[in-house]
Amino acid sequence: MASEAIANPEPKTNYLTNGYGLKSWLLTTDHKRIALLYLISVTIFFFLGGFFAMLIRLELLTPQGDLMQADTYNKVFTMHGMIMVFFFLIPVVPAVLGNFLVPIMIGAKDLAFPRINLLSWYLYVIGGILILHCMLTGGVDTGWTFYTPFSTAFTNTKIIEAGLAVFVAGFSSIFTGLNFIVTIHRMRAPGLTWDRLPLFLWANYATSLIMILGTPVVAITIVLVAVERLFHLGVFDPKLGGDPLLFQHLFWFYSHPAVYIMILPSMGVISELITCFSRKRVFGYKFVALSSIAIAVIGFLVWAHHMFVAGISLYAAMIFSFLTFFVGVPSAVKVFNWTATLYKGSISYTTPMLYAFGFIGLFTIGGLTGLFLATLGIDVHVTDTYFVVAHFHYVMVGGVVMGYLGGMHFWWPKISGRMYPEAWAKLSALLVFVGFNLTFFPQFILGYIGMPRRYWQYPPEFQVLNVLSTAGASVLAVGYLLPMIYFLWSLRYGPIAEANPWNAAGLEWKTSSPPPTFNFDETPVVTWEAYNYDEIPPKELEVPVGS
């Protein structure tokens, strides 16, 4: 069934107009409104984390520590990491795009547990308020990784409050994961079998598995840190018979799978973008779907690759190195499948597609540098240096954030009923790509020539690369600010979007833009495969009206 273009202005009642006033938003159970609540809170934290990043890059313009004191710098990079990891990267794609799209993509009215969905947002907000208060009253200086015994017996910053913030936000994560798993299992529309599911759903499903299995481990670890600080039990402090390495095992057992929580949903977005803008089924659907599950499972088996020089045994290191190479294979498979999808496609260069291309390039580099780190002999040299910093920013910023921005542009008409300005959007995508590479590529070199991480001051020979990196960060900042501005602008002045401006496959495009509160007037019955672009005739215009 071809999409129905609704040429009229936005429908009279949609989820945005269905109820006005603060209460209708703060007590909503509509997954789409909750997604917007998350969008606002997550964006605030993104810019806060970005502000701290700017402070870091400004300090690192000169070898001396001259912009702020050492203790302040240590707090700044800690807060940058904590905010970006726990309050942006982990929730962003599932809680914003996932919450909005998962029910619609499966043809349901809402998630399985709408009130738990709202609760998950409140938990996120409570965690957010705690971390903000913690920051405003002194902050934390342990690095986002909280290593013991520094965090349990030596620092006198507000560890317990920060830990509590993360603990609470963790439950937001767990409830989202729970909701998604039950929804995807139990609420698919008639005819929507697992092998017809859009890959965005497979990705969120795999992510949800990690969320519910992994997050409790970091929660308990935080409790142990708090208990150690308060009661000196001797869990981690060797003077009391404890083991500082135990903390690292517990922490990384969650925090490694956590990075797959961050990347998998973004990979799901890329599958949606590449298929739509090549007008093709994805190449190797089953392999891409199962690779998400493989990443989730194997991702639990590699945590000690963060500990190759920490004091673990030689043989443990070898096992974890081997397994780490193993987890790289499904990610590589995805990249190959997306590239193969382009073959004999009909490709248009819209902003979402540009972000998808950027993702493929940057994630490839980020993933390959992960192999350097998995290689034991090399890791000894580059671990704890800027090489690692560059690696994880390539996969998290070059990967997760690019996927997120691509998805935001793709689904913006569906979410808001308006189109964003295409020319400005393309410019921003370019600025992001260039700025990003200029910021982080020099850091690979900095790491290999020996600059350790978390350094407030450094020897002068590292300055030139640091200056390049800071210059790149300024460009990147502009690239991120522009979408903030034009998305807001489009809410009032953007051209009104039709139901399916991209002529895309997927159930979300069969309902109006924006959708009505209960998503569909009638429960759809699915009789087609995912990405059935052979059944959807192309449109005259490549780019939607009004760019």
Partner 1 sequence: MSGQVDALYIYLLFVAAVMTALIFLAVTVLAIKYRRKPGVEAHQIEGSTILEIGWSVIPFGVMLTFFIWGAVLYFKERTPPADATEVYVVAKQWMWKIEHMEGQREINELHVPVGQNVKLIMTSQDVIHSFYIPAFRIKQDVLPGRYTTLWFKATKPGHYHLFCAEYCGTMHSGMGGDIVVMDPQAYAQWAAAGASAALHDTGKQLFLSLGCASCHRSDVQGRGPNLAGIFDKPVLLQDGRTVTADDNYLRESILDPTAKIVSGFKPVMPTFQGLVDEEQLNALVAYIKSLSPPAPGTAALQNAPAGAQYGNTQQQ
Given the structure tokens 């189109």, which residue do they identify? 419
418 beta partners: 496
Nearer to partner 1, 274 or 425 (CB): 274
Q: Considering only residues 457-496, where is the footprint of partner 1 by CB under 8 A?
A: 457-459
Q: Which of 18, 43, 364, 474 binds partner 1 (CB under 8 A)?
A: 364
**Would you say 363 or 480 has its CB closer to partner 1?**
363
**Residue 316: Cβ within 10 Å count:** 12
Tell me the closest approach of the beta carbon of residue 124 to partner 1, in angstroms: 28
As a whole number of angstroms, the distance between CA 320 and CA 322 comes to: 5
φ/ψ (deg, to 5) at 262: -75, -45
User: In the window 287-306, what residues touch partner 1 (CB under 8 A)?
Assistant: 287
List binders of partner 1 among 107-136 (CB under 8 A): none
End-to-end CA distance of the chain: 27
Site residues for partner 1, window 395-454 (CB under 8 A)? 448-450, 452-454
Identify residues 318-347 at the interface with partner 1 (CB under 8 A).
318, 321-322, 325-326, 328-329, 332-333, 335-337, 339-340, 342-347
Nearer to partner 1, 21 or 377 (CB): 377
Does 279 bind partner 1 (CB under 8 A)? Our answer is: yes
- Residues facing residue 385 across a β-bridge: 452
CB 547 to partner 1: min, Å: 15
Residue nearer to partner 1 on the CB measure, 135 or 317: 317
Dihedral sign of CA atoms 458, 464, 469, 473 in order: positive
Applying CB under 8 A, which part among 26-34, 42-50, 353-361, 434-442 lies near partner 1? 353-361
Which residues, 370 to 399, sit near partner 1 by CB under 8 A? 371-372, 374-381, 383-385
Q: Which is nearer to partner 1, 122 or 326 (CB)?
A: 326
Smallest distance from partner 1 to CB 128, Å? 25
- Which residues ranging from 18 to 57 are in contact with partner 1 (CB under 8 A)? none
Query: Nearer to partner 1 by C-beta: 24 or 457?
Result: 457
**155 SS3 class:** coil
**Residues within window 526-545 making contact with partner 1, judged by CB under 8 A:** 533-534, 538, 542
Residue in the block written with tokens 């990610």: 331
Spatial contact of 126 and 167, defined as CB atoms under 8 Å apart: no
Closest CA to 159 of 243, 247, 92: 247
Which of 506/514 has CB closer to partner 1? 506
Of these, 348, 463, 474, 547, which contacts partner 1 (CB under 8 A)? 348
Q: Which stretch binds partner 1 (CB under 8 A): 235-243, 432-440, 465-473, 492-500?
A: 235-243
d(CA 443, CA 468): 9
Q: Are 469 and 439 in contact (CB under 8 A)?
A: yes
Say which DSSP state 198 is in: -
Q: Does 272 sit near partner 1 (CB under 8 A)?
A: no
Stretch that binds partner 1, among 67-75, 255-263, 486-494, 501-509 (CB under 8 A): 67-75
DSSP string, 246-301: HHHHHHHHHHHHHHHHHHHHHHHHHHHHHHHHHTSPPTTHHHHHHHHHHHHHHGGG
Q: How far is the CB of 438 from partner 1 (least distance, A)?
A: 17
**3-state class (DSSP) for residue 540:** coil
The string over 483-492, giving b where at least 16 C-beta atoms fall within 10 Å of a residue's C-beta and e elsewhere, is beebbeebee
Residue 283 makes contact with partner 1 by CB under 8 A: yes
Helix (H/G/I), strand (E/B), else coil: 418:
strand
Between 21 and 241, CB nearer to partner 1: 241
Pick from 11, 19, 361, 546 the residue near partner 1 by CB under 8 A: 361
